[in-house]
Structures are given as structure tokens and as C-alpha cells.
């Protein structure tokens, strides 16, 4: 079985219940997304984590880790140019 996010398209990362978090894969994917897509993915991951809260701590953590990867990429791009 898989999460609702795995059915989304346009570069969204799939998180499956039986798949370990792959930070390298997500970091590579994040590097190829626009800033707008990164912001959208961060919001989607946080929403998914909240949906898992209280009943699936593992997936909640995976979504927060994924959001963190996207946030790190966005920060690295915009730290020297906040208007990017």
C-alpha cells in the first residue's frame, strides 16, 4: 500500500510504507525542482505528516524528513538572494 502523495505527479516524491527514506534520491530530485515546486512540495509534505500524526509515526517522520530536504535545497538557493 502507498500514501496519497504517491499518486500525485509533477515531480512529487513517492513514499511507500515499505520503503526506507532515501535522502540522496530526494536531494537529487529537489535540486531539479523550481523554487515554486519546492515550496509546494514542502507544504504537501507537512500536510501529509499532519494527516499521519497520531496513527503512523514512521510515515509522519518520513514526510517531515522529506520536507526538510526540500527546505534545505530552497534555503541553499535563497540564502544569498532572498528574492530568488
Q: Among 45, 35, 36, which residue's Cα sits nearest to residue 12?
A: 45
In eight-state DSSP terms, residue 9 is -
Say what the pTM is. 0.70
Cα 65 from Cα 49, distance rounded (Å): 10
| Per-state percent for the chain, helix, strand, coil, to nearest 5 | 65, 0, 35
pLDDT, one tens digit for every residue, the chain (84 residues): 333 343 343 444 444 444 556 788 899 999 999 999 999 999 999 999 999 999 999 999 999 999 999 999 999 988 877 665
Amino acid at each position: 500500500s502507498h500514501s496519497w502523495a504517491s499518486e500525485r505527479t509533477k515531480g512529487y516524491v513517492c513514499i511507500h510504507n515499505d520503503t526506507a527514506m532515501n535522502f540522496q534520491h530526494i536531494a537529487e530530485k529537489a535540486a531539479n525542482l523550481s523554487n515554486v515546486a519546492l515550496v509546494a512540495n514542502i507544504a504537501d509534505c507537512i500536510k501529509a505528516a499532519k494527516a499521519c500524526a497520531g496513527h503512523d509515526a514512521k510515515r509522519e517522520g518520513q514526510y517531515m524528513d522529506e520536507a526538510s530536504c526540500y527546505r534545505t535545497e530552497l534555503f541553499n538557493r535563497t540564502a544569498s538572494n532572498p528574492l530568488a
